[in-house]
Structure formats: structure tokens, C-alpha cells
Structure 1
């Protein structure tokens, strides 16, 4: 039962993310770029995938919506205990979208 509820919540999140094409609208891109640099995101990604770290973007097309992208940034925030506030997570995700994903 619990697994079914989690699956329904996850599917609801996907639907919500897809219904909000402007999820990054109003995001502070300068803040996002600064947080990416200060948090050394590129260095962490390079350690994980090698090279300059850019191979981490669009892994087998797994991240295919703006909502998933924001969720992955939140996952890094949580796992690495970065302490980003929601608007900071959104700013970082908006920069990644602008520079790598280009979701509309």
C-alpha cells in the first residue's frame, strides 16, 4: 500500500512538473551561477563521470522534464547537505537548464 501511494505521489509530481513550463521563470540566474561555482558542482561531477563533468547531463535521457531537473538539484542539495533554500535550488536548476538542458 505504501509503495502504491509513493508511486502515485511520484506520478503526480511528474504531471505537475510537466504542467509548469515556466518552472524556472523569475529564477535568479546570477545567484544560480554563483552557487554552482561556490559549491564546486563541476568538480564533483567530474569526479563522478570524468572529463569536465559535463557527461553527467542528460544521462540516458533520464532527466527529461524541468521538474526532474529541479528534483535532481534538490537531490544533490540533500545528499551533500548544501543547505540551499528552495529558491536557490530553483536558481541552480534554471542555470543548468539554460546551459545544458534547454527545456522550453
Structure 2
């Protein structure tokens, strides 16, 4: 096995911090869900008010459902974007990531 000399770093994914590297640097978790909770709660309440048992759902119910889905999709895309960008920055700044 060839020996590797260069800028190496090990990372540990965690719950409190997004990751902590072997140099002791901790990168915090983004707060996308917490920032968007107010809007999500509003959209969920709107959807609940529009729902009627035993009847076909109205067009406004379907609109509210789509809005809630889009809001959740936006949050998931923000999380994925953050993960990809931090991974790319980590890879570009080090020769070997373990």
C-alpha cells in the first residue's frame, strides 16, 4: 500500500454539529427547518382547515397541499445544497478525507 503524504483530515458526522474534523473544527448544522417552522405551521393549518371527511376535496385543498409540499421540498433542497457545498469545500481544501 503506498504511503500518502499531504494534507489529510478525518471527519465525524454528528447530531450536535454537522461534522467535526480531526483538527478540532466543528461545523454547525444549518437551521433551515427552524427558520421555516412558522411558514410550515401556517400551511399545515391551512391544509387542515380545507380537509373535509367523506367529500371530494376542493381545488383549494389541492392548492394548499401543493404549497405545503413545495415548502417541504425547498427545505430538503436547502439541506442537500448545504451538504454538497460543505463536502466540496472540504474535498478541495484537503488532499485526503477519511
Q: Could you tell me the TM-score, scaled by structure 1's length?
A: 0.25
- Specify which structure has the higher proportion of helix: 1
Q: Could you tell me the TM-score, scaled by structure 2's length?
A: 0.26
- Specify which structure has the higher proportion of strand: 2
